[in-house]
Structure 1
Amino acid sequence: MRVVIASCSVDYSGRLSAHLDRANRLIMVKADGSVLVHCDGGSYKPLNWMSPPARLTELEPDEEDREVGVVARWEVSSTKTDDRLVIRIHEIISDDSVDLGPEPGLLKDGVEAHLQELLAEQIEVLGPGHRLVRREYPTAIGPVDIMAKDSTGASVAVEIKRVGGIDGVEQLTRYLDLLGRDPLLAPVRGVFAAQTIKPQARVLAEDRGIRCVVLDYDAMRGMDDVESRLF
């Protein structure tokens, strides 16, 4: 990862246009090709960014840029769309690159980890004919909780949460986008599985063609006899 603190202005063009006037900002260039521009606030959300796959090109400033003190021009172009991020750097305050090494992935809480284990053992919860391929299926952006095949032999990627929110849907969307580029897996269907799924997350998931499955944790671990329920 390359981490640059610089005095810069930023212009984004493509599906929309946006401009950031000159200020001191943090620029993160990740190994996956993403570029994020942060300020000293706003929590985790960047002011502007380019998602992978993208290509960063460092150029010399043109005459017009040099006249206003620009010392470097970075152009970040999406390889899938016409979106482009142009960063005009006036001064580099610090510039560091660090190899972070392999990412072990997020350690889930006890319930989520147990849900994953139970669903792998009871994969038929997803529907008749489903079979397990692998838990913690590795990808370049982190492991998919469960990879399975449905009754037609199609690949199914499953993201498991205790409480299913929008962040979980976004996470699964990134996995599906990446897995869908593998001709040995494509097309890949998505399943968002959780004990409870928030209404907004369900709407977003279904809009993206992702199936939502509510998991009954007690029933799956044999603590609740669903057959004897009155209600």
Structure 2
Amino acid sequence: MRLVIAQCQVDYSGRLTAHLPWAKRLLIVKADNSVSIHADDRAYKPLNWMSPPCSMVVREPRADEAAATGDADARIEQVWEVDATTGDHLQVLLGVRYLDVTEELGVDPGLQKDGVEAHLQELLAENPQAFGDGWTVVQREYMTPIGPVDLLCRDAEGCYVAVEVKRRGEIAGVEQLTRYLDLMNRDHLLGDHVIGVFAAQQIRPQARVLAQTRGIDCLTVDYDALRGMDHPEDRLF
């Protein structure tokens, strides 16, 4: 992972266009070439980003790019060109760097769920009818380039469904599922439309509203009722 604090200007083009004027920001480049640009607020949410799969090229600035910032004191030292397979493009004009460090983090063991959340995922995998009639589970912990989605299912119509399971449904969980769906919908093996379901014992109203705006269905799970469907004595192992 590379962390850079520098003066920069950022321009994004693709499904829409966005412009971040010249300012001091934090830039994060991960091993999968994903790039995110952060200000000193907004908690974890970046100002702009490029999700994998993508590629990044670092080049010297052209003479005409020095004036592109509109800041007479701006000194462009590098230009980052980040391209996604979807055709989206992110250009970063990088100026004075106050911090530039790279650290190898290695393979992450992943999020360790608490006992209730892990058991909730297990119970839903064993009882897919909790989502609706005709549902089946394809795989637990289906791996994406940025981590595993809890359950990959098929609904009664045969459509793939990505299910993220939480004990408490927060906005962060909806954002996590949104990132998974963005990548899964680029996978031709899953078809052209993977549906999302956000399942939790409790879902905050703000998270529910955000999920609805993203086209993600919400399911409030009755943990005690699911536990009543769990019969350990019927298991072979």
Within-5 A mapping of 1:71-220: 71-80=77-86, 83-89=89-95, 91-186=96-191, 187-220=193-226
How many Å apart are 1:144 and its aligned residue?
0.9
- 1:94-133 Cα distance to aligned partner (Å, 9 max, x none): 4333332323221222221111111112111111122222
**Distance in structure 1 (CA, Å) of the matches to 2:208 and 2:78:** 44
User: For the Cα contact (< 8 Å) 1:156–1:191, is it kept in 2?
Assistant: yes
**Distance in structure 1 (CA, Å) of the matches to 2:221 and 2:144:** 25
User: For the Cα contact (< 8 Å) 1:103–1:142, is it kept in 2?
Assistant: no
Per the alignment, residue 228 of structure 2 pairs with 222
Distance 1:26 1:163, change over 3 A: same
- 1:6-64 Cα distance to aligned partner (Å, 9 max, x none): 3x2213244354334343x4321112332123355554343443334443222212235
Structure 1 stretches of at least 4 aligned residues deviating more than 6 Å after TM superposition: none
Distance 1:45 1:149, change over 3 A: closer
How many Å apart are 1:216 and its aligned residue?
0.4
3-state SS of 1:212 partner: strand
User: For the Cα contact (< 8 Å) 1:50–1:85, is it kept in 2?
Assistant: no
- 1:164-205 Cα distance to aligned partner (Å, 9 max, x none): 122212211211221222222223222111112222322332
3-state SS of 2:157 partner: coil
Instruction: State the one-letter code of the partner of 2:196.
Output: G
Distance 1:176 1:13, change over 3 A: closer
Gaps of 5+ in 2: 230-237
Q: How many corresponding residue pairs? A: 220
Percent identity (aligned)? 53
User: For the Cα contact (< 8 Å) 1:73–1:86, is it kept in 2?
Assistant: yes
How many Å apart are 1:83 and its aligned residue?
4.8
TM-score, structure 1 as length reference: 0.80
